[in-house]
Amino acid sequence: MNATHPPLNTLSRRRFLTATGMIGAGAVLSACGGGSNAPGAQPESGGGGASGYDGPDVELAFWNGFTGGDGPVMQKLVDTFNAEHPNITVKMTVMEWADYYAKIPSAVSSGNGPDVGIMHLDSVPTNAARNVIVPLDDVADALGLQKSDFAEIVWDAGVYEGQRFGIPLDVHPLGFFYNKTVMESAGLDPENPPMDHDSYMAALEQLKSAGIEGHWMSPHPFTGGQTLQSLIWQFGGQLFSDDGTEATWHEEPGVKALTWMVDAIKTGYSPTDVGQDADAIALQNGKTAFNWNGIWHINTLKEVPNLDWGVAPLPNIGGEQAAWAGSHNFVLPKQRTPDENRLTAARVFINWVSQQSLAWAEGGQVPARNSVRESAEFEALPEQSTLAEQVDYLRFPPPIPGIDDAFADFDQALNEAVLLTKEPAQALSDAAERANKKLEENRKKYGE
């Protein structure tokens, strides 16, 4: 999630050739003749992974950025998969997301791209447009996946120019974390956190009179940027116009949202100059009561001894229910020399993990599949299922390539306003002006 993790961990798993594997190896010779695809052509193979893989032994490279508590959970899934599929060995490599997104295109262009990857929903269109990943409509078909299986917004966002490039694995929304001990010490009911504007403000006021700055406003993308995005939607606004050609975060709802954050500082509900991660640490240390943070924070808080905390969906501050979320998606990086067997095996792997998304939920995520999300087993994960209530009103940026470039400007506006160096309205409109130029350049670049 941030720079505190080592840049590269190779989690490799040694597996011995099993008897079946030896038999599979014998099949290599007979399978050699086929599958001479021209570079660039993307064969749809193996019935999209539903019919399994019975070819020779293959080793698949699987890259992702699960450097946090989610890494070991995914590794466990990979281990189980390897044990169940003797002729497929998946080797998982974990690196920082930022490194991952810079590395994967160059790996693909040099012919060393992984067989399977994970990408955030908002990065899928960019990578599709840049030929880093290939369509996998066939996998979706083979899995029998339909719109109705998923939260609609997640499902639709994986499509770029009429083709599907991502199979949703999870959604990870922002949630409302609260320190029960601190709430109690200020005379608030820790079992009944404030969920609307008026009660939230009243709670902050009560905390203030108890000498506690109740909600630390972060000037950084984590978690301030996600908070501001959620608030803009709550106030009825949008970050971008529907066609994604213009930033609209500087319109009235955006100004209201950012002003609400800045006013919290001016009123004394938040200190000034909150550092990266300081808001989250303050909650753990009992210096603040509320923190809007990502669902991945559940596992972090569970590890803090003697911390009495709770989590709820985001309070409705602006009048409309909304919350920021990201989503991890399976993608198939482009191969310079596609190998029929590996392509099939990769699809088998995606198919299999997609059905195990309950196990993945234990890593602190909300499964993308409705059936899993609504299952009794998932309901038994109290924190995750609480945050899953938000799934119907989550939002994602419009699926256009290069949209992430604009967020640098959005984050800068947040930073300037929350650090009190610029007025919210001014900061937002300056940022929108800069972002619009980038969006225009991107339209030219990606030929829209």
Partner 1 sequence: MASSPPRIRRYAPWTPYAFMAPFLLIFLTFVGFPAVMGLWISLHDWDYMLEAKPFVGFDNYLVLFDSSSAAFEMFWNGMRATGIFTVASVPFLVAIPLALAVLLNRRFKGRTFFRAVFFMPYVLGVAVVGLLFRFILDPNIGIVNGLTGWSIPWITAQPWAWISLVAMTVWWTLGFNTVIYIAGLQDIPTELYDAAKVDGASAWQQFRHVTLPGMRMVMIFVVTITVLASANMFGQADLVTNGGPGDSTRTALMVFLDEGLGAFRMGSAAAMSYLLAVVLGLVSIINVLAMRERRRPKWRS
Residues that bind partner 1 (CB under 8 A): 3-4, 7, 102, 105-106, 108-109, 130-132, 216, 219-220, 271-276, 278, 281-282, 285, 287, 402, 404-405, 408, 412, 415-416, 419, 421-422, 434, 437-438, 440-441, 445, 447
Q: Closer CB to partner 1, residue 153 or residue 281? A: 281
CA distance 235 to 253: 5
The SS3 assignment for 167 reads strand
Least separation in angstroms between residue 421's CB and partner 1 is 6
Where are the extended beta strands (E) located within 215-322?
290-294, 309-312
Q: What tokens appear for 244 in the block?
A: 């994604």
Least distance to partner 1, CB of residue 165, Å: 14
Report in angstroms how near the CB of residue 447 gets to partner 1 at its nearest: 8
Contact 188, 203 (CB under 8 A): yes
Nearer to partner 1, 45 or 412 (CB): 412
Q: Which is nearer to partner 1, 31 or 98 (CB)?
A: 98
Report, in Å, the least distance between residue 438 CB and partner 1.
5
Nearest distance from C-beta of residue 278 to partner 1, angstroms: 5
Pick between residue 363 and residue 401 the one whose CB is nearest to partner 1.
401
3-state SS assignment for residue 169 = strand
Q: Residue 30: left (phi > 0), alpha (psi -120 to 50), or beta?
A: alpha
Give me the least distance between CB of 239 and partner 1, in Å please.
Answer: 18
> In this structure, how many other beta carbons lie within 10 angstroms of the beta carbon of residue 9?
16
Measured from the CB of residue 392, what is the shortest distance to partner 1 in angstroms?
A: 32
Which pair of tokens denotes residue 182? 């601190």
> Using CA atoms, how far apart are residues 427 and 10, in angstroms rounded to an integer?
42
Q: At what angle do helices 252-267 and 403-418 cross, to 10 degrees?
A: 40
- With a CB cutoff of 8 Å and minimum separation 6, the contacts of 143 are 48, 49, 50, 167, 351, 354
What 3-state class would DSSP assign to 233?
helix
Phi, psi of 141 (to 5 degrees): -65, -45
Q: Which is nearer to partner 1, 278 or 359 (CB)?
A: 278
For residue 275, the minimal CB distance to partner 1 (Å) is: 4
Compute the least distance from the CB of residue 50 to partner 1, in Å: 30
Pairing of strands 366-367, 290-294: unpaired
Q: Which residues contact 374 (CB under 8 A, 6 or more apart)?
A: none
C-alpha angle 226/232/238, rounded to 5°?
Answer: 105
Nearer to partner 1, 68 or 219 (CB): 219
Residue 396 or 407 having the CB closest to partner 1: 407
Nearer to partner 1, 40 or 382 (CB): 40
Closest CB 251 distance from partner 1, rounded Å: 21
Phi first, then psi: give them for residue 264, nearest 5 degrees: -60, -35
Looking at residue 125, what DSSP letter applies? H
Minimum CB–partner distance for residue 128 and partner 1 (Å) = 11
Neighbours of 447 (CB within 10 A): 7
Amino acid at 426: Q
CA 151 – CA 160 distance, rounded (Å): 17
Whose Cβ is closer to partner 1: residue 294's or residue 313's?
294
**Helices of type H across 132-196:** 137-142, 152-157, 180-185
The Cα–Cα gap between 105 and 38 comes to 20
**In whole angstroms, what separates CA 318 from the centre of its chain?**
24
Q: Which is nearer to partner 1, 89 or 218 (CB)?
A: 218
Task: Select 90 or 414, whichever has its Cβ closest to partner 1.
Answer: 414
